[in-house]
Amino acid sequence: MTDRKPVTLHRLLDMHAQGDKIAMLTCYDAAFATLQDEAGVDVLLVGDSLGNVIQGETTTVPVSLESMVYHTRCVARGRKHAWIVADLPFDSYHGSIEEAWKSAAALFKAGAHMVKLEGGGWTAPVVRFLVERGIPVCAHLGLTPQTVTMLGGFKVQGRDDAAAVLLKRHALELAQAGAQMLVLEMVPAALAAELTQTLNIPVIGIGAGAECSGQVLVMHDMLNVTPGRRPRFVKNFMAGSVSVQDAIARYVLEVKAKTFPQNDIHSY
């Protein structure tokens, strides 16, 4: 894709408005950043999932800000066109607004175009503070891995009426605070579809159905190299592919063609 134009925030907002699907994948180094970029991935997510797939941790909680800065810098060096989102790791934005600013600024200086934080309610003021000072923010609701212990494990969120109402309230608060993107993880497809229609920002799903503005997967999961059992929403794109680049290109194609995910297979 030599004639590809750089992905911008305005372009992502336009894609949401026009119904053009957004393809996002996790990425942790320069080589894969280049490969994903050439395959047409719109958004590279430097996820704190690197704690699981790179560092061998059982949760994302041990991941440090220093690790996130390092991997963000690596990805930025390999990227040419894609938009880069970097996770704010656990304990890097929880203590104070000032702490959140310093953490987000460190990721921004390393090459991120946007930072992502988990949770609703208390996070809205943090979002507003960062956005007002020029750092775009992606919110993350539903299954939030940094607080998975409090959620009782890796379970679908927002299934009962009260939980759905709370999730919708948090999504609206975050959007009103200035969040320019929202990741929904492991929420019922119908709820995710409603939020995608309601909000004027891109809603990226992971186990949240086919009606979201776009999709994200952990790269190691979709390449079938993550040990152990994988979540229901994961598809093995290496099956039938001739190379890693082919598998990533197939993922992009299926997201944009709206053939992945399938609600009866990959959703809740």
Residue in this structure with the two tokens 């379970």, named with its chain if needed: 155
| DSSP bridge pairs for 181 | 138
Is 48 marked within a binding site? yes
Is 49 marked within a binding site? yes
Residues 21 and 212: their CA atoms lie apart, in Å, by 8
Q: Which two tokens stand for residue 108?
A: 């921004």
Residues 161 and 167: their CA atoms lie apart, in Å, by 10
Is 3 marked within a binding site? no
Three-state secondary structure along 13-43? HHHHHHCCCEEEEECCCHHHHHHHHHHCCCE
Is 14 marked within a binding site? no
Residues classed as catalytic = 185
Chain centroid to CA 257: how far? 20
Residues 71 and 85: their CA atoms lie apart, in Å, by 12
Does the CA dihedral 76-6-33-35 come out positive or negative?
negative
Enumerate the known binding-site residues for Mg(2+).
48, 87, 118
Q: Which residue positions form the known binding site for 3-methyl-2-oxobutanoate?
A: 48-49, 87, 116
Return binding residues: 48-49, 87, 116, 118
